[in-house]
Amino acid sequence: MLHHPNKILSLADRSAFEQLAPHLAESSLPRGEVLAETERHIAKVYFPHSGVISCVVELAAGGAIETGMIGKDGQFGAGHALNGQVSSAHVVMQIAGDVSVAPANHVVDVAQRNPEFRKLLLGYEQFALAQAQQTAGCNAVHRVTQRMAKWLLRMHHLAGDEFSMTQEFMAQMLGVRRTSVTDTATELQRLGLITYTRGNMKIHNLKQIHDFACECDDDLMEHYRIIFPNAFESPSGQT
C-alpha cells in the first residue's frame, strides 16, 4: 500500500499511480464549491485528502436530501467518467478540504490500461450505492436522534471531532426540517455528547454517540471492509 492521504490512491498499485501522477493536481476546495450539477457531464475526478463531499438529490418542491458523503476514504467522478454518464446528484463540498484532482479522460485512460485500478474505482462506486441504499432505509425507519448520532460517527471518521456545519446542511443530511435539527442537537448537547454553537460542531464522547446511533454506520463500514479488504493494512513504500 502506498503512502497517500487518499485511501483509493494509497491502494492503487505503483504502476497505475505513476501513470496517473502527472495528471494529478492538488487543490484546496472551499465549503460550498460545486463539483457536479445534476444531469451534467463530469469533467474531473476528485480524490479527497480531507474535507467532505456531499451528494444531494434536489427535489422539485425545493427541498434536497443527502444520499452520500465522500471523504478521504473514496473518490468522486470516476464511475460516471468510466461509463460516460452524467451526474445523478448535485455534488458539493460540505466541509472544505484538500483534494487530488485529475481530468476524467486521463483517469479513464489509466483505468483502461490497469484493470486492478479500474476495479478499485468501481469498488468505491459500489460502496456509494450501498451508502445510498443504507441512507434510504435509515431515513425511512430510524429515529432522528439515532440518525444524527450515525451521521456524527461518519463525520468523525472523515473530518475528525470538530467541524463547521450549517443547520440547513444538517437538515438535508438527516432528511428533516431545521427545527428537528435544533431539537435533536439540543438533546445530544444536553446529554454531553456534543457541543453545537454558531455552526461549530464538537464531538465529546464518541463511544456514547456510537451507543446512541442506529446500526447503519457499522453496516456501512462492514461494506467498506468487504469491498476493500486491504484498506486497513499499514502503508509501505512512497508516493
Q: Which residues make up the interface to Zn ion (CB under 5 A)?
A: 138, 142, 214, 216
Minimum gap (Å) between residue 153 Cβ and Zn ion? 11
For residue 134, the minimal CB distance to Zn ion (Å) is: 7
Kindly provide the residue ranges of all beta strands, DSSP E only, lying in the chain, ordered along the sequence: 25-29, 34-36, 44-48, 52-58, 64-70, 90-95, 97-103, 162-164, 194-197, 200-203
Residue reference for cell 461509463 = 83
108/138 with CB nearer Zn ion: 138
Rounded CA gap, 224 and 55, in Å? 18
Q: Which is nearer to Zn ion, 195 or 208 (CB)?
A: 208
8 or 152, CB closer to Zn ion?
152
Q: Could you tell me the smallest distance in angstroms from the CB atom of residue 155 to Zn ion?
A: 15
Task: Give SS3 for 159.
Answer: helix
CB of 154 vs Zn ion, minimal distance in Å: 11
Q: Which is nearer to Zn ion, 54 or 131 (CB)?
A: 131
36: Cβ contacts below 8 Å, ≥ 6 apart: 42, 76, 77, 80, 87, 89, 90, 91
